[in-house]
């Protein structure tokens, strides 16, 4: 009887999502969802899985049902986030770099015209490197070249790195590269620190339609930046919201200026959902 009560209690806790409201259960095909994007001229929520999964871009309705699958003619080495431009082109960030060893960091550009295709589609490839990285991997104290987050802004792509250095897990460096094919040197812009432990990793980013708010996601919380100058997004005003809920959160999207959509991975007990969070 005590075991049964304990199981019921654990189940109850796993359903407590704090200030996050579950709006959809993700399908099994997206158990490792790592990117979420909404684009112009499409009613779908676009999503991807991370490394080890098929190179597929999924289009879902608001209930979390897969309505379209776009097969990409590229390998999913470590897809981590999605971004889009005003023309409805989607960018896939293949820049996950857990061990800081990769030299083939890439962003894949999916043209809007390809999103209605039923065949495997070709993509433009944008490659880049961090000029500060001279060793692969660097020393443990310099493991700042993983990345799971980026946005499109003014014809450029802005990357928010993820630190793998102990006691410095909350550090994110902002870099800028051109949003065009070729190999580019990433230009350092600025740095921000969330906190210091594993729950502070930055795992996704988004920019609102008005281009005056940026959100960074961690497993524990979001950081919303506003009143920034130019493209130094990390030096504006910051609003921090804790979730009061723990799971492996991997993607964030502005539904509107006052509401975010957030997804997490399914870990066998909890997660695998699309959540809504009111931020104002």
5 pLDDT higher than 60? no
Span 25-38, pLDDT tens digits:
999 999 999 999 99
Q: What percent of the chain is predicted at pLDDT more than 90?
A: 86
- Residue written as tokens 């099994």? 28
7 pLDDT higher than 60? no
Nearest to 126 by CA among 101, 99, 157: 157
Nearest to 112 by CA among 76, 85, 151: 85
CATH number at residue 215: 2.120.10
82 pLDDT higher than 50? yes
| DSSP state string for 44-61 | SEEEEE-TTS-SEEEEE-
pLDDT at position 269 is 79
1 pLDDT higher than 60? no
4 pLDDT higher than 50? no
How many domains are contained in the chain? 1
pTM given for the model = 0.94
Q: 81 vs 55, 167, 225, 249, 253, CA distance in Å?
A: 13, 25, 19, 12, 11
Range of the domain at 125: 2-278
């Amino acid at each position: 009887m005590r075991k049964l009560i304990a199981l019921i209690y654990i189940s109850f806790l796993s359903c407590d999502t704090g200030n996050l409201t579950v709006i959809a259960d993700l399908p099994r095909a997206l158990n490792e969802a790592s990117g979420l994007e909404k684009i112009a001229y499409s009613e779908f929520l676009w999503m991807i899985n991370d490394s080890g999964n098929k190179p597929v871009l999924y289009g879902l309705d608001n209930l979390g049902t897969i309505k379209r699958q776009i097969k990409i003619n590229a390998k999913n080495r470590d897809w981590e986030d999605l971004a889009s431009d005003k023309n409805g082109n989607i960018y896939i960030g293949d820049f996950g770099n857990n061990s800081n060893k990769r030299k083939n960091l890439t962003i894949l550009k999916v043209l809007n015209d390809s999103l209605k295709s039923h065949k495997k589609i070709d993509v433009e490839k944008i490659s880049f490197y961090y000029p500060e990285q001279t060793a692969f991997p660097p020393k443990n104290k310099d493991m700042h070249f993983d990345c799971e987050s980026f946005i499109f802004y003014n014809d450029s792509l802005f990357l928010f790195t993820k630190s793998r250095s102990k006691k410095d897990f909350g550090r994110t460096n902002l870099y800028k590269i051109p949003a065009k094919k070729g190999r580019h040197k990433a230009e350092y812009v600025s740095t921000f620190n969330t906190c210091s432990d594993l729950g502070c990793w930055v795992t996704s980013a988004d920019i609102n339609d008005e281009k005056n708010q940026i959100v960074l996601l961690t497993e524990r919380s979001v950081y919303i930046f506003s009143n920034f100058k130019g493209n130094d997004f990390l030096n504006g005003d910051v609003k921090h919201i804790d979730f009061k809920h723990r799971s492996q959160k991997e993607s964030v999207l502005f539904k509107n200026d006052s509401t975010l959509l957030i997804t997490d991975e399914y870990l066998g007990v909890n997660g695998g959902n699309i959540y809504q969070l009111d931020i104002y």
